[in-house]
Amino acid sequence: MPKKIPTKLENEKTKSEIPQGHKRTPNFASYYVNSVNFAFTPFDIQMVCGRIEATMEEGNEETDEIVTIILNPKHAKLILRAFEQSLKGYEEKNGEIIIPDVESPKSPTKETQVLASASRRKKK
Q: Model confidence over 83-100: pLDDT tens digits?
A: 999 999 999 999 999 988
Mean pLDDT confidence for 13-41: 84
- Between CA 52 and CA 36 the distance in angstroms is 10
Mean pLDDT confidence for 8-12: 51
- Between CA 95 and CA 90 the distance in angstroms is 7
pTM over cut 0.95: no
Provide the pLDDT for residue 1. 42
Give the three-state DSSP class for 42.
Answer: coil
More confident site: 9 or 74:
74
